[in-house]
Amino acid sequence: MTFHKKQHAGWRAAAGAVALSLAMMTSACGDNAADTATEEVEGVIPGITITDARMVLAPVEGNPAAIYFNFVYDGDRAFSLDRFSVEGAESAVMHEYGEYNFKVQMMEALPVPVKKGETLEFAPGARHVMAMGVSPDLKPGDTTEVTMKVSGGKTHSFDVEVRAAGDER
């Protein structure tokens, strides 16, 4: 064995000993990392609260449905709302209204930056999510799942109540 390989093996052994010592000290203190770690739930980003979530179907079958909800964030890490998907829809796009060519019109929204204390309203006539290619199997009174993907790749899912076109938006 060459000097370099012996030195590398020595460093690995020392690192292993340090890791083992730390693990033993942690368990000896009765502080099991599994007990103290905040368990991350798949599809949930800590600090996000969604309320009043609803999907309003279009009056004409085959047209896009609109999704509205209230969003509050009280977590510690800033991110951007990036993309959405809806169970039972082919695609979903975040929209907002803006002015183009001297006309106010609906357009695809850019990612929305979010920081601690942020409150966003996804509402009729404002920012909202459009679900395209909605399955005819989704009927008023059903629920379906919306998943938002944020910068960094994490996702947060929540249920929405399916409403008819004439119901309260």
Residue 10 Ramachandran class (φ > 0 left, ψ -120 to 50 alpha, else beta):
alpha
CA distances 146 to 21, 85, 141, 149, Å, are 45, 6, 16, 10
Q: What is the pLDDT of residues 132-144, one digit of tens each?
A: 999 999 999 999 9
Q: What is the pLDDT of residues 16-63, one digit of tens each?
A: 443 444 444 444 444 444 443 445 577 899 999 999 999 999 999 899
Q: How many whole angstroms separate alpha carbon 128 and alpha carbon 122? A: 5
**Strand-strand pairing, 155-163 and 48-56:** parallel
Strands (E), the chain: 48-56, 65-73, 79-86, 89-100, 103-108, 112-114, 119-122, 128-134, 143-150, 155-163
pTM: 0.74
